[in-house]
Structure 1
Amino acid sequence: MASPAPPIADPQALGSLPTLIDELLEEIFLRLPTPADVARASAACTSFRRIITARSFLRRFRAIHPPPLLGFAAYEGFHPAQPPHPSAPLARAFADAADFSYSFVPAGRWPTPWRPRDVRQGRVLLECTPDCDPAFEYYDTVLLGDLDIAVCDPLSRRYSLLPSIPKTLRGQHKILIDFGLFFAPTGEDEDETTFRVVCVACNKAMVVVFEFTSITGQWHIPAYHNCSSLGTVMPDSRYSSSCHDHEQGRFYWMVPWRNKLLVLDVFSMEISIVNNNLANYHMHDSGKPLIVLGRDRTPEVFFLADCFGDGPTDIIRITKENGSGSSDAWQFENMISLPTQYNYFTLGAAEGFLFLRGTLQDHNSEYLSGYSSDDCSDNSAHLSVEAPDVEYLSLDVKTSERKKICVMKRCFHTVFSYFGYPPPLAKPTI
């Protein structure tokens, strides 16, 4: 007697099997603990790589895994996180794949190199100006009409040259000085390759906001503010306490006023002045005060202080009282102690971290001084092979945990933290 024929498989079920397998693998990859694990899985076979590089997977992955800190973009290139920092393997892979010499970006009007002014979502905002001396990077004074701007993606090597701010816009005001250049936050529903750039300029009469959007390819003026409420002292260079909170779209400036915060909300394009009593505190000249949003989404100011006369070894935290009826209601929150064998300089703040540089105090004191004349007038001091090691550190404002990110031979006054993903987890941003 013949055996019964095997049941015929449902063709529709067989056809959906590859899709089910892909969905199962996607769930497995999403549960991998670190981006490094996902990157290794991607290298295992082409099928895994196809799933991991799909836009739908990357969106879900980024929502679960915040981008790690990979290093700093600075005047002379990219400086990846080094061991034992947990991001060191990813940072090395990223540095090998990206081009932070910006050689793929066409030259600007001036015989000077492109240099970074902001980093956000994998894009680098570049400028080219008539003068470009790394020893004076912190003190540059740039007229708005002399500013060339580009946006690039060092990983995909794509770029966009922005048009100059038209004379028809600049001509509405007297000579304007570049006072702030940065990326504006983009909405979640916007295309990932679109971007906005904000340029804040000022003179003794006005603070003027210029905005460029890649959708229109044009500049316009969405906001301006009369300077009468700021007093007679105006910044004559980029030496200003500017801090970005991209999530909330708020940008803050303090110096040279010290008793006021100039605030720009780039979502509403409104400029406001917040009074404070911070002038009552002695801020050491080792970097600028850093402004971040605290736990209740109100501004918090961090600055180095010399509490014991031996140099700045403590970070003072001042908070604005939430719900207070007084605009001057600021209070001392706490003090974060730092190792006393180092001299420190504040560099910036992003993603809940403060960034510092530190050098051992037993080295040349003139070299260590944040604003020493030798440091600013003799560029050879920055590049000397005899220069001491300079540590670049992060400080978590919630936990006060310090981590060494990398060591250099150069005392940068300005660095831009790069949070992102290496290949294949990164997609072109332009």
Structure 2
Amino acid sequence: MDPPPPPPASIPVPDDLLEEIFVRLPTPDAVARASAACTSFRSVIKGRSFRRRFRAMHGPPLLGFMDAAGFHPAQAPHPSAPLAGALAPCAADFSFVPAVVSSASYVRPAVQEDDGEGPRWRPCDVRDGRVLLDWISFYPRSVHMWSYCEGCARREVSILMDSREPVNLNICARPTWTKRERCNAADFHLAVCDPLSIRYVLLPTIPEDLASQPQDLLQEFQPVLAPCTGDDSEEVPFKVICIARYQTKLVLFVFPSTARQWSMVESPIFPSLEHMSCLYDMSSFDYVRGSFYWTDRHDWSEHLMVLDTRTLRFSTVDLLTGYHMELRSLPGQSFDDRRPNAVVLGREGALEMFSLVCQHGAFALYHTSLQNNSQEWKLEKIIQLPGQYRDYSISTIGAAEGFLFFRGALGGLGSIENVDCYSMEVKTYGITKVCTKTEKFLNRRSALPYFSFPPLLSEPTI
């Protein structure tokens, strides 16, 4: 009996056809598994053409949240949990960024107990896979206004302090101010890094001559990352914008990575300076068609404040029109600073907002929109949030990449509580639990949603 004929030789699949197959894989996990199958598959997937096409067709996966305590990866059954768990050690580690060891500006207060965190870099904004870092001593810092009497006159000074550092409440006698305590924009140390590729840029501090130009008391200082505006070249430029609110003016300090030097822009006209008490967390909300939006954190203000990151100009959008007048007057409604409105990237030509409302102890998101050709906000939908969270326990924490994020705490008034973090897809209103993390009550840190492709599919962003 004749032996069976040998099987026909397999026809090699051309690389361009493999690319067409792989680019249609649904998730980065599936691409990673295909890459591990053989060297020819990996060669196609590592190619720049494939990576560019895959990123264009698929949004970056949500890996979790960053805050001053570290990185909190997405947990099962969230679809990003396997990838987030694998990348968590890289995403949580900023030790490759050199420490600030310059001066006595960062001496631990002797009367405070060490919280175990120590001086280090901590994230203050996240965008496009990059992390903007602020050097924190032992506790989160903020600008404080201090009053004291000098003769018959009362004076004021702005100081940079750790949030739990004790202060002398006696304002009748002028304290002895140190160089550290006389705060200006030159006191802040910043860095931008890509934790997955372990690359970083240390920003120079704002020059003293530039920081002193406003000649006014600094009241608030908030650095943010402007989104990428470059092409697919190897080095995509970035821009850091520091919004400095002074007693009588608003100033921008701008650092573009292309020029690598600071410049200053003073807003000539700012119509609602009295509403600028809400800079913190402004960047946690979606970047909408070239601009950041934010509102008063405590109540309904008359305007949305708008910063165009391309022209570096401020403007406003009328907020109290149409349905928002009804929404502000809902019976049994309560406000606090954990429920700022979230402006999100909506349909073409529309500005869309989600307002977190607590009414009679229960929470709902009110989706409203403002068309370009209209001056009236209209109601799109009311989304009821999980009923197990009552009273104080829900807060919005950001919006990015077509998602709105909020968190809820089930615990009572204990010192430690478990906080559940959720995402809601803006187009479908689908709510998904991302992770559970532990926080100290009344010491909640700003949580920053972190989206990024794994290194296999992305170019280094720094």
How far, CA to CA, are the matches of 1:303 and 1:137 in structure 2? 32
How far, CA to CA, are the matches of 1:223 and 1:43 in structure 2? 53
Counterpart position of 1:250: 291
1:149 to 181, 190, 209: 190
Q: Does 1:59 align with 2:52?
A: yes
How far, CA to CA, are the matches of 1:255 and 1:26 in structure 2? 48
Counterpart position of 1:391: 420
Specify the SS of the correspondent of 2:31.
Answer: helix
1:317 to 363, 367, 381: 367
Counterpart position of 2:173: none
Q: Does 1:116 align with 2:123?
A: yes
Deviations 1:16-63 (A, max 9, x none): x99x83222222211222211110111222332222122222111111
| Alpha-carbon distance change, 230 to 246 in structure 1, aligned in 2, over 3 angstroms | closer
Moved over 6 A (4+): 134-142
Counterpart position of 1:376: none
Counterpart position of 1:418: 450
| Alpha-carbon distance change, 35 to 138 in structure 1, aligned in 2, over 3 angstroms | farther
Specify the SS of the correspondent of 1:323.
Answer: coil
Counterpart position of 2:343: 291
Do the aligned partners of 2:71 and 2:88 also contact (CA within 8 Å) in 1? Answer: yes
Deviations 1:281-327 (A, max 9, x none): 555223322121332443333222122x1x24111233324312x4x
Note the C-alpha offset of 1:79.
1.1
Pick which of 275-284 and 420-429 moved more. Answer: 275-284
Q: What amino acid maps onto 1:23 in structure 2?
A: D
Identity of counterpart residues, as a percentage? 43
| Alpha-carbon distance change, 427 to 234 in structure 1, aligned in 2, over 3 angstroms | closer
Note the C-alpha offset of 1:164.
0.9
| Alpha-carbon distance change, 332 to 28 in structure 1, aligned in 2, over 3 angstroms | closer
Specify the SS of the correspondent of 2:365.
Answer: strand
1 or 2, which has the higher helix percentage? 1
Gaps of 5+ in 1: 1-16, 368-380
Do the aligned partners of 2:353 and 2:369 also contact (CA within 8 Å) in 1? Answer: yes
Specify the SS of the correspondent of 2:457.
Answer: coil
Do the aligned partners of 2:281 and 2:446 also contact (CA within 8 Å) in 1? Answer: no
Q: Does 1:161 align with 2:230?
A: no
Do the aligned partners of 1:245 and 1:293 also contact (CA within 8 Å) in 2? Answer: yes
Do the aligned partners of 2:423 and 2:431 also contact (CA within 8 Å) in 1? Answer: yes
Note the C-alpha offset of 1:113.
1.6
Do the aligned partners of 1:68 and 1:421 also contact (CA within 8 Å) in 2? Answer: yes
How far, CA to CA, are the matches of 2:88 and 2:347 in structure 1? 33
Counterpart position of 1:7: none
Counterpart position of 2:88: 95
How far, CA to CA, are the matches of 1:122 and 1:242 in structure 2? 15
Q: What amino acid maps onto 1:358 in structure 2?
A: G
Backbone CA RMSD of aligned residues: 3.0
Counterpart position of 1:9: none
Q: Does 1:224 align with 2:267?
A: yes
Do the aligned partners of 2:421 and 2:434 also contact (CA within 8 Å) in 1? Answer: yes
| Alpha-carbon distance change, 179 to 397 in structure 1, aligned in 2, over 3 angstroms | farther
Gaps of 5+ in 2: 1-10, 108-118, 143-160, 166-180
Q: Does 1:201 align with 2:252?
A: no
Counterpart position of 1:335: 382
Do the aligned partners of 1:317 and 1:335 also contact (CA within 8 Å) in 2? Answer: yes
Specify the SS of the correspondent of 1:410.
Answer: strand
Do the aligned partners of 2:218 and 2:244 also contact (CA within 8 Å) in 1? Answer: yes
1:72 to 60, 65, 68: 65
Q: What amino acid maps onto 2:92 in structure 1?
A: F
| Alpha-carbon distance change, 303 to 134 in structure 1, aligned in 2, over 3 angstroms | farther
1:402 to 431, 437, 450: 431
How far, CA to CA, are the matches of 2:311 and 2:97 in structure 1? 32
| Alpha-carbon distance change, 169 to 315 in structure 1, aligned in 2, over 3 angstroms | same
Q: Does 1:36 align with 2:83?
A: no
1:126 to 118, 123, 133: 133
How far, CA to CA, are the matches of 1:182 and 1:192 in structure 2? 23
